């Protein structure tokens, strides 16, 4: 089992390494700390910010202070919202491309257990998303230090990092069920449509106060994007529901691949 999983992991990692998708996601996600750092610089230097016009107003509306706590907050909220899209695209690419490239039938014909193939794909997806999460965190730290943000303390750093890590974990886990949509839909488009729908519903239901009971809204609420009151509404039931959805989604995609040639 371990040998088969290692071979499957190697194959999936090789396909990802030879594609442009990892570079595209890394460059695209780098916009988060770059824009955040630009907003912080605008708030720190009003004279310099006068050259940016409407962007200055946007920065002032997005953040009240140019300091480390605010910057960490922006990074975490961007991870929750932007990560939902980027991570979903990664999962969609790993599973949906097998149908777009007409290689799904070849995978199904391999002697490797299908559960092992799915496990390898999910592991690569998680590792890929974790690397991106770490990438924008480290880039954010470097940019914050470069522009000289005030307000750094070990307490601020520890609390912000813990929230960032937890938000990233929630966001990554909740995108794994998209693998079932990409597989059952046999391609990219159904999964992309499902992602757009989930992001839309997260915004609407959060505005209606139902976010704690819609799992895909939980990362943004936990990150503080909707304010401290929304964050405090998250309870044990919310996290149990998230766990059920994630495990159920993983079980669904494994079950689907086991019977894919019968569908």
On whether the pTM is more than 0.95, the answer is no
**Is residue 208 classed as helix, strand or coil in its secondary structure?**
coil
Closest by CA position to 76, among listed 184, 206, 195, 171: 171
d(CA 8, CA 159): 38
User: Cβ of 147: how many Cβ atoms within 10 Å?
Assistant: 14
d(CA 152, CA 91): 36
d(CA 172, CA 258): 24
Overall residue count recorded for the chain in this entry:
263
Q: Is 148 left (phi over 0), alpha (psi -120 to 50) or beta?
A: left
Q: Is the Cα dihedral 190, 191, 197, 200 positive or negative?
A: negative
pLDDT digits (tens), the chain, 263 positions = 677 888 888 988 888 888 889 999 999 899 989 988 888 887 777 666 556 555 555 555 455 667 899 899 999 999 999 999 999 999 999 998 888 777 777 777 777 888 899 999 999 999 999 999 999 999 999 999 998 898 899 999 999 999 999 999 999 999 999 999 999 998 889 999 999 999 999 999 988 888 899 999 999 999 987 676 667 788 899 999 999 999 999 999 999 988 876 45
């Amino acid at each position: 089992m371990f040998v088969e999983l290692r071979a499957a992991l190697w194959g999936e990692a090789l396909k990802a390494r030879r594609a442009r998708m990892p570079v595209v996601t890394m460059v695209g996600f780098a916009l988060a700390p770059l824009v955040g750092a630009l907003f912080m610089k605008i708030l720190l230097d009003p004279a310099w910010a006068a050259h940016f016009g409407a962007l200055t107003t946007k920065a002032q509306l997005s953040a009240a202070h140019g300091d480390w706590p605010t910057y960490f907050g922006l990074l975490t909220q961007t991870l929750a919202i932007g990560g939902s899209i980027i991570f979903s695209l990664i999962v969609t690419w790993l599973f949906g491309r097998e149908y777009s490239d007409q290689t799904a039938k070849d995978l199904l014909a391999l002697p490797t257990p299908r559960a092992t193939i799915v496990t390898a794909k999910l592991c690569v997806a998680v590792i890929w998303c974790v690397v991106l999460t770490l990438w924008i965190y480290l880039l954010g730290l470097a940019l914050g230090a470069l522009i000289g943000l005030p307000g750094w303390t070990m307490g601020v750093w520890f609390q912000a990092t813990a929230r960032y890590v937890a938000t990233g974990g929630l966001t990554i886990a909740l995108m794994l069920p998209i693998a079932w949509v990409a597989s059952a839909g046999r391609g990219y488009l159904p999964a992309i449509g499902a992602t757009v729908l989930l992001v839309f519903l997260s915004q609407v239901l959060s505005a209606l106060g139902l976010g704690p009971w819609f799992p895909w809204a939980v990362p943004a609420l936990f990150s503080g994007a909707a304010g401290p009151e929304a964050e405090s509404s998250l309870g044990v039931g919310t996290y149990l529901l998230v766990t059920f959805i994630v495990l159920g989604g993983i079980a669904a995609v494994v079950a689907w691949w086991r019977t894919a040639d019968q569908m």
